[in-house]
Amino acid sequence: MSVILRPGKSSATEASSLSFDGMTRVELIWLEKRTEFWIRFGNGAGEQVLDRSRRVVFFIPGSVFAFVRWAANDYGTVFSRIDIVRTIAPGSACQTLPFVLPGGEILLKIEGWPKVENVLRHVDAIEGLGIDPADVDPDHWRHVAHWMKAGEASRPYTAERHAAWLRRREIGK
């Protein structure tokens, strides 16, 4: 088992003393053409490689990430889902989510591959604006989820909307 550190952490001593206590733990699996769990966006604090097909990514409280899960059998896709989650502080109330410990605040939950693809395209469009999707207003992810569940197109996220969110967040500090 190895630990991979983010930039700024480089020595073996730091790796052995690194504590993931209080962080959200996301278990990822990659069994080609069978089971694929991956992080689409989000700034992990580190990860543990368990073996060739499994690893664990850790996120500090308040981080936002997209967790995609897909599974298939001999006949095709049997399950696909994307969750956009905001991590919580230790001891805080949270929603539970498989493979995410202890859980988090689920900002968006979409199931079914065509809908998951729509969310991924939405994420691509945000990145196309030069905006990190992890920094997007959490209310926007809720908006996308509600409109998709209603079968309608959501409003696009714009640079102006993002600037307003950043100002609102700054005022709230």
pLDDT at 123 over 80: yes
Asked if 88 and 103 count as a contact pair (C-beta separation under 8 A), the reply is: yes
pTM of the model as a whole: 0.87
Residue 36's pLDDT band, with cuts at 50, 70 and 90, is very high
Taking residues 5-26, what's their average pLDDT? 58
Lowest mean pLDDT among 9-23, 49-63, 76-90: 9-23
Q: What is the pLDDT of residue 162?
A: 97
User: What distance in Å separates the CA atoms of residue 62 and residue 85, rounded to the nearest whole number?
Assistant: 9
> Residue 94 has which token pair?
């949270």
Please give the backbone phi and psi of residue 166, each rounded to the nearest 5 degrees, phi first.
Answer: -65, -40
User: What distance in Å separates the CA atoms of residue 81 and residue 69, rounded to the nearest whole number?
Assistant: 5
Taking residues 146-161, what's their average pLDDT? 94
Find the DSSP H helices in 4-112: 12-17
Asked if 72 and 78 count as a contact pair (C-beta separation under 8 A), the reply is: yes
Choice between 153 and 31, residue whose per-residue pLDDT is larger: 31
